[in-house]
Copies of this chain bind each other. A is one copy, B any other.
Amino acid sequence: MPVGTAASVKTLDADDLRNLGTQIILGNTYHLYLRPGTEIIRNAGGLARFNGWRGPTLTDSGGYQVFSLKELRKITEDGVKFQSNLDGSYHMFTPERTIDIERDIGADIIMPLDVCVEYPTTHSEADRAERQTFRWAERAKKHWETNPRRQILFGIVQGSVFPDLRKRGAEALVELDFPGYAIGGLSVGEPKTEMMPIIELMDECLPQNKPRYLMGVGTPADIVRGIGKGVDMFDCVLPTRNARNGSVFTRHGTMSVKSAAYSCDYRPIDEECGCLCCHGYSRAYLRHLLNVNEIAGLRLLTIHNLYLYLELVSHARQAILSDEYDVFERRFFADYNEEIES
């Protein structure tokens, strides 16, 4: 899922997303709630009509952004009170209020308010956050069920890198019987050697027949590994954010298009890539655009990166359907140099 923070996948419009074959985009409730505000989105007929996308959407709960505010927020049993990072105004997100906001935004898949902890954290801190997340999930589900409309609500497993907490959290949520489950609180700074065992554990704990969404992950390598461990959905700002920093992903790893090495390199980023960027524009031209701060360059690199990600997951799906995922994964890593991955 490309990340469309403020009702826009940065540098792209809905036509670009359709041309890329995007299936679903993510919106950030925190940002949309502050600007343009939920009323403007609701009156437009929901996020997918407001931004012209008209396809499937998912919204997070805003929890992740609110917890990132640190000094500007305060958690109670009821919810989380916070100050806008834009104007200092006070707001309160409760599990019920978040569902109401997400109803107004109108995404197809919505997330309950959860408590995200930093990495590293203590077991007791993670324990408290996981319990709070569960109590809020119960309240969110109850509130959602009063008027589910056509939206489905996922449960979010928290518990940091502690297997006992993750297991307890997953089992409790499964008992509540959500239509899908998200693995939250990963890719927040922990080493991959800590992240992967948790994903493997979730593969054991979460039901096989419901979608699993690994939040905020990741690099192409993370995604290939995650799919191998049963994950169905991902969102990540890497393809779009890295593009705006001049960094692109290829089948072989990453490359920094700004490098002077490309100033006279008239080849596309990847001769075998089928994206709009690789079909019409050379490394030399793209480097020049970045060098002179032409925003057309940021868009072309964004298109390339999203195309690569979407093609990767499309191939992964084909490999699963033909029961050859192991071969696919081995081939991917034979080509891919993770060392130079950003």
Contact B280 A13 (CB under 8 A): yes
Contact B296 A44 (CB under 8 A): no
In the complex, A281 Cα to B291 Cα: how many Å? 31
Contact of A296 (CB < 8 Å), options: B8, B35, B289, B300:
B8
Residue A181 CB within 8 A of the other chain:
no
**Number of A interface residues in the complex (CB < 8 A):** 39
Contact B296 A10 (CB under 8 A): yes
- A-B interface, 8 closest residue pairs, ranked by CB to CB distance from nearest: A52-B280, A36-B288, A8-B294, A6-B292, A8-B296, A13-B296, A52-B281, A295-B295
Residue A186 CB within 8 A of the other chain:
no
Residue A298 CB within 8 A of the other chain:
yes
CB distance from A273 to the nearest CB of B (A): 15
Nearest B residue to A13, CB-CB: B296
Residues of B close to A90: CB separation below 8 A: none
Known: A11-B296, A13-B300. 17 other contacts (CB 8 A): A7-B285, A8-B294, A8-B296, A10-B294, A10-B295, A10-B296, A11-B295, A13-B299, A14-B281, A15-B280, A35-B292, A40-B263, A44-B282, A50-B285, A52-B280, A52-B281, A295-B299
Contact A298 B295 (CB under 8 A): yes
In the complex, A294 Cα to B7 Cα: how many Å? 9
Contact B35 A291 (CB under 8 A): yes
In the complex, A8 Cα to B288 Cα: how many Å? 10
26 CB contacts below 8 A, A to B, read A6-B288, A6-B289, A6-B294, A7-B288, A7-B289, A8-B297, A10-B295, A11-B295, A11-B296, A13-B281, A35-B288, A35-B291, A36-B291, A40-B284, A43-B264, A44-B266, A50-B282, A51-B281, A51-B285, A52-B281, A52-B282, A295-B295, A295-B298, A295-B299, A296-B299, A299-B299
Residue A236 CB within 8 A of the other chain:
no
Nearest B residue to A52, CB-CB: B280
A residues 43-71 near B (Cβ < 8 Å) are 43-44, 50-52
CB distance from A71 to the nearest CB of B (A): 23
In the complex, A202 Cα to B43 Cα: how many Å? 54
- Assuming A44-B266, A280-B14, is B285 touching A52 (CB within 8 A)? yes
A residues 275-291 near B (Cβ < 8 Å) are 276, 280-282, 284-285, 288-289, 291
Residues of B close to A13: CB separation below 8 A: 280-281, 296, 299-300
Residue A196 CB within 8 A of the other chain:
no
Residues of B close to A195: CB separation below 8 A: none
